[in-house]
Amino acid sequence: MRFHAIIFALIMTNLFGFKAHFQGDSLKGYLGDVFTFGWEIQHDQQSKLTFSEIDLEGTGIEVLDRKLTNTENGSSLLFNAAIYDSVGIYTFPSSIVYLENADGMDSLFLRGPDIEIASVLTPADTTFRDIKGIHDIRMPINLMIVVIVLLLLVFAYLIFYLIRRFKTSSTPAYLEKVIVPPEEAHIIALRAYESLKRSKYVRFEQFKEFYSELTYILKQYYENRYLVDALEQTTSEFRNTMESMVEFDNELISETHELLEKADFIKFAKASSDELESGKALNKAIELVNRTKIQSNQGDNT
């Protein structure tokens, strides 16, 4: 858009020296162009200006910026506006400016300018042309072949599904689910002690770790074997538990407590140990398991 700077004065009213002169660039352009226009308002510097609200709803005009600045002779009110809807003539809404000073209040009516939006299309662009006929597009693959292949795939899947369902329904009930009974407590414990025996704790003098695992396995065995909460109890608490049960005799209680107490000194009091002592402790734990395990001739009860 080419702007032609023009300034023309339109005196809206002249009440008590209160004047407004319209100024602006060319108000003819295209969609999206920014138009700048406004009014030079003459008044004394002690006056206070207020403006009525401008209602732009339904006008198709969008105000991008509104600026009021003081000038030597009064104030300058400038608008930057644009139109994005369609071509035609748009009238910017009028407004009223109010002046208040020591002499009282006065007002001016500011008539909004007309903005003309022209089309960017040339006459050739607006010429109507005949509608072309339907173009026959030949596909490289015959549609009927594709449909047949899809039907064959669906049919093959149905056959596979029916065969699989028939095999499932004909499988004997005793083969559908295999229930593996849980291992007995002493088998779990003895396997864990065998693994501890092959560990490198003693070789590298990691006695705290060795005794921690040894006592964990023993307490876990008692927990699984007698259904007591051994792992959550201290050595003293577990001794009290053992003493309250008829399954444990005094010798078994004393040997278990002695082994657990010795392990506590090494784990928590940093007592010393050696390979010989650790081997004896491991053998004692294995002996305790073997003495209390469920015997084959005892059935399921102890």
- Both 107 and 205 in a single domain? no
Cβ count near 225 (within 10 Å): 20
CB 18 within 8 A of CB 43: yes
Over 70: is that where the pLDDT of 204 sits?
A: yes
Q: Work out the angle at residue 73's Cα, subtended by the Cα atoms of residues 70 and 78, and round it to the nearest 5 degrees.
A: 45
Mean pLDDT across 30-45 = 86
Strand order in the sheet with 28-29: 28-29, 114-117, 88-91
pLDDT per residue as tens digits for the range 91-119: 989 888 888 887 788 888 888 899 998 87
The pLDDT assigned to 130 comes to: 67
Taking the model in full, what pTM does it have?
0.41
Tell me, yes or no, whether 247 lies in a domain. Answer: yes
Mean pLDDT of 63-91: 88
Residues in the chain: 302
The total number of structural domains that make up the chain: 2
* Domain residue limits at 279: 185-294
Beta bridge partners of 42: 19, 74
Segment 4-27, tens digit of pLDDT: 433 333 333 444 467 888 888 778
The total of other beta-carbon atoms located within 10 Å of residue 92's CB is 21
Flag whether 180 is in a domain. Answer: no
Residue corresponding to tokens 């490289």:
140
In a domain, 104, yes or no: yes
C-alpha 150/C-alpha 111 separation (Å) is 72
Domain membership flag for residue 72:
yes
What digits encode the pLDDT tens for the residues 117-143?
Answer: 887 766 655 565 667 667 666 666 677
